[in-house]
Structure 1
C-alpha cells in the first residue's frame, strides 16, 4: 500500500510539473501596441535572434563605438578631476572639451552614416559549412529594419555587408500578423517568418523591388484566461 500511494504521489507531481511547463510555454509577451518604440524594439530583437540562429554576430563596429565613447568619457573625467587649480587649468579644460565634442561628433557620424537603420551585422560563414550561396562566406549579412511612424508595416531587409551593389531580400509584414489587439506577441510566428526570409537569401532568391508586402492574415491569437 505504501508503494502504491508513493507512486500515485509521484505521478501527481509529474502531472503538476507538466501543467506548469505547458503554462510557461503558453505565456506570451504583452506590450502596449500604441508604444511604437517598444513595438519596434521587440520586433528588432526577435529579428536579430532569428538570424543569429544561422550566423555569428560581428561586433567590430559596436566595439569601435564603445572605444570612442570610453575615450570621450576619459577626457571628460580629465577635465573634471585634473589636479590643476583654476584658472591655470583653462587650457586643459579647453583641450578636453574640444576633444570630447569631436569624439561625440565622430560617434554621431557613425550612427548616422554607417549604422543608419541597421540592427545587426554578421560575420561571413565558413565556406565548408555554407556551400549553397558563395556570397555568404565572402560577406557578412547586414540586417536592416524599418517601422515608419504612424505605419503598421514592418520591413526587414537582409543584404550583404560591404558588397558593391549588394543584392538583398526584402519582406514587409503588418504588425497585426504578430500582435493581437491586446498586445500579445507571437514570437514563434515572427521567428519563423524571418527565418523564411533568411532561407531565401541563402538560396539566392533575391528581390529587385523593396516593396514586397505580406498583407495581414489575421492577428496573433489572444491569450484567454
Structure 2
C-alpha cells in the first residue's frame, strides 16, 4: 500500500485585534459619567485636525505638585528636626497645604466647570483656529446626561447642548456604545459648524 500523501498545512491566520469593549457597572452614576466623558473625548479628538490641549489639566497638576512639595518639605524638616523643634515649619506647611486644597477646589468648581476635553482645531490653510470644549453634567441618582459642546474662534463663542438618558448610550450589559456617543457629538459639532456658516 502506498502511503497517503500528507495534506499541506495551511498557515494559520493571525488573529485580528478585537476593539476593546468598555464595560461598566451601569448602576454606578459616577462610573457611567466618566465612561461617557471618555467616549465623547475620543470622538472629539477623532475630528479632522483636532489636537488635545492640556492647559486646564496642567494648572490642576501644578497646584497638586506644589501641595505635594509642601508636604514633602514638612516631612523632611520633621525628620531632620524632630518635634517640637519642627513645630513652626509644620504649622506653616499644613496651613499652606490646606490653602492649596481650597484653591484646587475653587479652581475645579469655577475654573474647569465640568470641562473634560479641550481640542484645538486648525484649518488646512493654517490660518483659522478654533477651540472646542466639551463639558458634562449628571446629577446624583439621575439618569440624564447633559453634554455641552462649545466652540470659540476669533469672532465668537457658540454653544450647543443635549440632554439624554444615559441608557441611550449604554446597552443592557453595561457596554458603552461609542458609535452612538460619536453620533450625538457629531450632531452638536455639525450644528455649530452650520451656525457659523449661516452667520
Shorter-chain TM-score range: 0.7 to 0.9
Structure 1 residue matching 2:52: 3-state secondary structure: coil
**1:165-193 superposed Cα distances (whole Å, 9 cap, x missing partner):** 83211122222222222323322222232
Change (3 A) 1:78 1:40: same
| Paired residues of 2:158 and 2:192 also in contact (CA < 8 A) | no
CA RMSD for the aligned pairs?
2.9
**Inter-partner Cα distance in structure 2 for 1:184 and 1:165:** 37
Q: Which has the higher contact order (CA 8 A, sep 6+)?
A: 2
1:154 Cα deviation after fit: 1.5
Q: Which range moves more in the overlay, 195-204 or 150-159?
A: 195-204
1:45 Cα deviation after fit: 0.2
| Paired residues of 1:178 and 1:185 also in contact (CA < 8 A) | yes
1:28 Cα deviation after fit: 4.0
Q: Which residue of 2 aligns with 1:74?
A: 69
Q: Which residue of 2 aligns with 1:86?
A: 83
- Please list every run of 5 or more consecutive structure 1 residues that lacks an aligned counterpart in the other structure: 207-225
More strand by share: 2
Normalised TM-score (structure 1): 0.72
Structure 2 residue matching 1:195: 3-state secondary structure: helix
**1:71-91 superposed Cα distances (whole Å, 9 cap, x missing partner):** 111111111221223322222
Normalised TM-score (structure 2): 0.80
| Paired residues of 1:169 and 1:205 also in contact (CA < 8 A) | no
**Inter-partner Cα distance in structure 1 for 2:125 and 2:193:** 12
| Paired residues of 2:151 and 2:192 also in contact (CA < 8 A) | no
Count of aligned pairs: 190
**Runs of 4+ in structure 1 displaced over 4 angstroms?**
161-165
**Inter-partner Cα distance in structure 2 for 1:5 and 1:130:** 60
Pair 1:167 & 2:158 matched:
yes
**Inter-partner Cα distance in structure 2 for 1:162 and 1:86:** 56
Match of residue 34, structure 2, among 36, 41, 44: 41
